[in-house]
Amino acid sequence: MSSTPLSAAEKFRLLLNQDARYDAEAYNFIYEALDYTLKVVVGQSTRSNMHVSGPELLEGVRRFAIQQFGCLAKMVLENWGICSTADVGEIVFNLVEFDLMGKQDSDSKLDFLNVYCFEDAFEVRPVFSYRQDRDEWTASYVATATN
């Protein structure tokens, strides 16, 4: 008698029940940051495989969070339980454990340990610009001198 394999949604529910340290949104954000990292940080077309190292993913997380949340990036991540680069590693390896993300044998949680300080990495300032053709203001964010 064979059992029906669990769906991704069922695996995800089990993961959240087993480890409640991180909000469901944190996991969703890591998936989106991985996609962003492949496309923007490492350049998918320059890779023969789709693997991203821990430090590469962390840089993608940093950039994507700032792009999405601006000056509030650190606060949003902390609200979801992500307070350090090690937390990103915990989330990634939770996803791996529940077969929701892949890894290579050389990947380790240590790849995510103390890669950058959240306080410094998310210290940004807004730069406002006016687009006359659209009659609107836009904001972009640049790292402060400590980054």
For 70-125, what is each residue's pLDDT tens digit? 999 999 999 999 999 999 999 999 999 999 998 888 999 999 999 999 999 999 88
Q: E strands, 9-131, where?
A: 124-131
Length of the chain: 147
Per the domain annotation, does 137 fall within a domain? no
What are 34-60's pLDDT values in tens digits?
999 998 877 765 545 678 999 999 999
Q: Which two tokens stand for residue 43?
A: 């350049």
Average pLDDT over the chain, rounded to an integer: 89
Q: What is the pTM of this model?
A: 0.84
Per the domain annotation, does 116 fall within a domain? yes
Per the domain annotation, does 135 fall within a domain? no
Per the domain annotation, does 105 fall within a domain? yes
Per the domain annotation, does 134 fall within a domain? no
Residue 95 structural domain = 8-121
What is the model's pLDDT at position 2? Answer: 59
SS3 state at 114 = coil
Per the domain annotation, does 147 fall within a domain? no
Per the domain annotation, does 93 fall within a domain? yes
What is the model's pLDDT at position 145? Answer: 52
Per the domain annotation, does 61 fall within a domain? yes
Q: How many domains does the chain have?
A: 1
Answer yes or no: is pLDDT of 23 > 80: yes
Quote the DSSP letter at residue 111: G
Please report, rounded to a whole number, the percentage of residues in the chain having pLDDT higher than 90. Answer: 68
